[in-house]
Structure 1
Amino acid sequence: MDEIDENRVAKAILAAPGWARVGISAPKESTREAAAQELALTITKMFGERPSAIDPNQLVLAL
């Protein structure tokens, strides 16, 4: 597993839309949830595609 680089995460958070950064502390739960989703989306975009469920170290067996 790759280590998480705090600097890249910080840059990803700062790259997120302003409403999401502010919305994470909103009093309304639905706004906080939408903001958290937007922040997560921005972070995953900056880190590339989500890792596949296939482990590259696992041997592939023919069926």
Structure 2
Amino acid sequence: MAKTDWIRCPKCGSKTRTMIREHTVLEDFPLFCPKCKYTCVIRFKDGKMEETVPEKA
């Protein structure tokens, strides 16, 4: 079974509501943090997350 983990908010570091597996690939994925209400667009590949464009509220 593949290992799963929560994506963490790039701003506050808390868990978001999105869960990923080891080999997940995301491109231009809108990520929302329910704790700090931060929204951004991310890329996730090879276990590394990169914030591409912060969205304006």
Please say whether Structure 1 and Structure 2 have the same fold, judged by a TM-score greater than 0.5. Answer: no
Which is helix-richer, 1 or 2?
A: 1
